[in-house]
Structure 1
Amino acid sequence: MKEYLLAALISYLLGSIPFGWIIAKLKGVDIRSKGSGNIGATNVYRVVGKTEGFLTLLFDLLKGLAAVAIFSGLFPNHTYMGVVAGFSAVVGHDFSIFLKFKGGKGVATTYGVVLLLYPLAALVGMAIWIAILLTSKYSSLAALLSFTITTIIAIAGKIATVNKVLFIILLLLMFYRHKENIARLIKKEEHRIKI
């Protein structure tokens, strides 16, 4: 039990590292007061620049991947370790202790987590994410549709039931974090991004 608690705590702290805020701050920008106010890659891309947006995306993805990889590797005999570490990392990103429990929307970090738990579903989802983003220019729509498809693939696949449950929980959390975007999409007021 203590191993799971340790993994949950450290993964949460790892997920809490606000790379978007840090990268923007290095450019003299407080990303929380610009654009949508979100610390994620899309807002950093819009406000600071393409390179900074890409780096935010990359580091946010890597912290999710790292949490699962580190603790699954350290405790290979603990069946639920990847699930606990992955979920904790996404919660850390969404509700960062370093930003008074505010954070991003968890898309890149979520994909980093599931990339190790079910690589095929994750890679298909990421390809769909990019395709929808390029065609629609709606970052939120691309994220929600792609991870919905990713989750369907996972549920239909031959993976542990606990992993399938994690996919569903992460999908619900992603929809919750995008509730304002969903409202704007319905009203046709959502902002497109320039690619």
Structure 2
Amino acid sequence: MIGFMLTLMAAYLIGAIPCGLVLARFVGLGDIRTVGSGNIGATNVYRVGGRRLGVATLFLDALKGLLPVLAALYLYPDSPWAVSLVAAAAFLGHCYPVYLGFKGGKGVATGLGIYLVLSPWAVLVSLGIFAGVLWKWSYVSLASLCAAGAIPLLVVLFERSLPLFLVTLFISGMVIFRHRANIERLLSGTENRFRA
């Protein structure tokens, strides 16, 4: 039990690394939380720092979800509940990082990394949904919300695992909850469109 608690703590601390903030400071942009939307995620880094920095943030934020889940599968190969809890810990680390006073990102990229390991087919379909919505309406937030809403159903379809389904519901619910300001702006017509 102590070993599993340490694994959960490590997953949280890895997930809590604020990659966008670190990268922005490294290239001289200062505190990414004070510019653009104020978010530390890839979309804001992209808007403020350009394509390469945004893609690098996306990659590293996804890696924060992918690596702890890979480690959990290695350490607990016969316990889907343990793997699911580690995934949740990494995700919560990104959303509520101890390093930043528990004020983090919205979890889309970290969720992507988690599901690349747990359900790659669900990721493939949800990426198609994301890309289609983004192409049609040019809102990253709307695309993220649609993909988050679809992925629990996709996980049921492709994986048929209760622990994975429950953690997917949790992660998807958190992604939608953390986009509540975006939802308000979408409804009022004031949300920023994405420009490639």
TM-score (norm 1): 0.95
Stretch deviating more after TM superposition (48-57 or 131-140): 131-140
Of all paired residues, the percent bearing the same amino acid is: 37
**Runs of 4+ displaced beyond 6 Å:** none
Aligned position for 2:20: 20
Deviations 1:83-134 (A, max 9, x none): 1111111100001111111110000101111121111111211222123223
Aligned position for 2:62: 61
Stretch deviating more after TM superposition (92-101 or 152-161): 152-161
**Which amino acid in structure 1 is aligned with residue 4 of structure 2?**
Y
Stretch deviating more after TM superposition (18-27 or 152-161): 152-161
Conservation of the 8 A alpha-carbon contact between 1:13 and 1:92: yes
Q: Partners in 1 of 2:186 and 2:34 — Cα distance?
A: 22
Correspondence list, 1:25-40, <5 A:
25-29=25-29, 30-40=31-41
> Is 1:75 equivalent to 2:76 in the alignment?
yes
Aligned position for 1:161: 162
Consecutive unaligned residues of structure 1, counting only runs of 5 or more, are none
* Local SS of the residue matching 1:80: helix
Q: Partners in 2 of 1:122 and 1:91 — Cα distance?
A: 20
Count of aligned positions: 195
Q: Partners in 1 of 2:80 and 2:34 — Cα distance?
A: 42
Consecutive unaligned residues of structure 2, counting only runs of 5 or more, are none
Q: Partners in 1 of 2:4 and 2:129 — Cα distance?
A: 33
**Which amino acid in structure 2 is aligned with residue 161 of structure 1?**
L
Aligned position for 2:145: 144
**Which amino acid in structure 2 is aligned with residue 165 of structure 1?**
L
TM-score (norm 2): 0.95
What displacement does 1:156 show?
Answer: 3.4
What displacement does 1:160 show?
Answer: 1.3
* Local SS of the residue matching 2:79: coil
Aligned position for 1:125: 126
What displacement does 1:164 show?
Answer: 0.6
Conservation of the 8 A alpha-carbon contact between 1:7 and 1:84: no
What displacement does 1:157 show?
Answer: 3.7
